[in-house]
Amino acid sequence: MTDRRDTAQPAPDGGPPTARPSRRRLLLLASRAAIALPSAAMLAALTGCSSADVGVVVSTPTPLPTASPAGSTASTAQSGGSTGVRAATVTPTATAVRSASGAAAPAATIELRPPQVGVGEAMRVRARVPGAATASVRFRGIDYQMLPQPDGWFWAVVGAPTEQPPQANSPVAVTGRTASGQPVGTTEQASAIVAVTRPVDYLVASEAVTAVLTPDAGVREETLRAQQFAAYDRSPLWTGLVQRPCPGEITTHFGQGRSINGGPVGAFHSGVDLADDEGTPVHAAAPGRVVWAAPMPIRGNSVLIDHGGGVKTGYHHLSAMHVQPGDAVDAGKTIGLVGMTGFATGPHLHWEITVWGVNVDPITWLTQPFGPES
């Protein structure tokens, strides 16, 4: 029986990518896009992810604030929609408030869903901030702009990389500002980043298949990933849940470490593999704008859709692509066909969801809404 999986893994030596596009290049790319390039600190954080998971690299990373040590990893509560097992940590309840002047400021109301985030998973942040015209949220030492919603709340979605060590204390801080940019106060909501245990995937692939995984292919793959995640559309175009792009059976879950032909366990699997017949239609998981439709060395024929608000979906190993960059697509639109281009052991869709360039478990998004109006 054909093993319908892929790797979307880094170079076979298992080492980090060596391609480092200059920040000037990234800025050039960003200048052509809808919004500004993420901060240097944000890109530096993404650099710490495996090549398979993110692929955004910078030449001059800026250190992030020091994180807390790893927390408890002792329990067995199931994570939603995934094979992963999530560790229990704290119950986030505490709130601390401070104003720019140090005086008491009206507290923001912060809603986190889920209240603590698993590694390789996303978290929706909503906040009502008295007196603020704009708001930002700090998560993992990175500031994300929140978007105002019609109901008067601000919204953002963030993701914890699979390589992120668990943190029993990982507060989420929301800062409101006036229209002129003056801070009106910061409110912290206690939270945690919890471990998710995922089994190792032992993949058997022929020499003909593994021949795709050359160091040069890894470098070129990372260069393309840097381009694909250099900028983001601002306004979210989707609400509620996302749709499964094709009905195929899951052959490899997101986030599983992978051993190829008995070799060492390499980088985490950056998406979910849905095995289906060659030529099966692949549908857009949510409304958005096509930002990439072209071959990649490892992921094969690939379509990327920007859904706004930092969220992109990727559809890989396609046998055919039916959209062009710039196309607006609705949820369910046929964007291509299942195939096995790139590094694949059989026909399947390698499906990815990224949040500000951080790969997260797509399956969770089928049952948990992370959008702004859900």
CB closer to Zn ion, 177 vs 253: 253
CB closer to Zn ion, 3 vs 188: 3
Closest approach of Zn ion to the CB of residue 344, in Å = 8
Q: Please report where in the chains the tokens 């990933």 appear, as a residue.
A: 225
* Residue in 64, 19, 15, 16 with CA at minimum distance from that of residue 38: 64
Torsion of CA 71, 74, 79, 85, to 10 degrees: 120
CB–CB of 348/303 below 8 Å?
no
Q: Which chain residues interact with Zn ion by CB under 5 A? A: 6, 8, 273, 350
CB closer to Zn ion, 8 vs 123: 8
Closest approach of Zn ion to the CB of residue 3, in Å = 12
CB closer to Zn ion, 187 vs 313: 313
CB closer to Zn ion, 196 vs 349: 349
* Residue in 210, 188, 130, 162 with CA at minimum distance from that of residue 361: 162
CB closer to Zn ion, 92 vs 357: 357
Closest approach of Zn ion to the CB of residue 339, in Å = 13
**Distance (Å, whole) CA 101 – CA 178:** 14
Position closest to Zn ion via CB? 350
Closest approach of Zn ion to the CB of residue 8, in Å = 5
Closest approach of Zn ion to the CB of residue 340, in Å = 11
Closest approach of Zn ion to the CB of residue 5, in Å = 6
CB–CB of 121/360 below 8 Å?
yes
Closest approach of Zn ion to the CB of residue 249, in Å = 13
CB closer to Zn ion, 6 vs 276: 6
CB closer to Zn ion, 309 vs 314: 314
CB–CB of 282/350 below 8 Å?
no
Half-sphere exposure of 283 (CA within 13 A, CB side): 14
Helix (H) or strand (E) holding 28: helix 23-31
**Distance (Å, whole) CA 261 – CA 196:** 25
Closest approach of Zn ion to the CB of residue 363, in Å = 13
Residue 274, phi-psi category: left (phi > 0), alpha (psi -120 to 50), beta (remainder): beta
Closest approach of Zn ion to the CB of residue 276, in Å = 13
- Both tokens of 209, joined, read 């298949």
- Both tokens of 140, joined, read 């993992």
Count other Cβ atoms within 10 Å, centred on residue 35. Answer: 14
**Distance (Å, whole) CA 351 – CA 347:** 13
Residue 252, phi-psi category: left (phi > 0), alpha (psi -120 to 50), beta (remainder): beta
Q: Would you give the distance in Å from CA 132 to the centre of its chain?
A: 28
CB closer to Zn ion, 222 vs 273: 273
